[in-house]
Amino acid sequence: DQPFDYSKIDEDVPSGKFEPGVRILDNARPSPANPYISFEYTVSKPGYTRLDILSESGETLGIIVNGYQQTGPGCAAWDITGRSSGSYLYNFRSGDFEESGKIDLRIA
């Protein structure tokens, strides 16, 4: 592994129109070799963005995105180590956009 100088990467804001939203990858079927569920999300305009994981009763179990995001796509992962199979919720907020959904977690 060679060191990489991240300071030389251009941070151009992507052009085009982005529809806000979130998508769960990995079909909520993590394996012991990969105990993460990945989320892809899109921010339609720069601003504060947050992605929470909640129990079915509404208790916050984790905050996996929390901060300023540029316009465009992003990705985050939820470490489910120690979690059991069952239903969980997510809540995604970016600016005035909000989306909630259900995660049916099946642990092998």
pLDDT over 60 (residue 43): yes
Q: What is the pLDDT of residues 12-36, one digit of tens each?
A: 555 667 788 877 765 556 666 778 8
Residue with tokens 């995660």: 103
Cβ–Cβ under 8 Å, residues 18 and 73: yes
Average pLDDT over residues 60-78: 93
Cβ–Cβ under 8 Å, residues 94 and 67: no
Question: How far, in Å, CA of 40 to CA of 22, rounded?
Answer: 6
Question: Tell me, what's the pLDDT at 64?
Answer: 94
Residue with tokens 């769960």: 24
SS3 label, residue 75 = strand
**Which residue type, as a one-letter code, is found at position 91?**
N
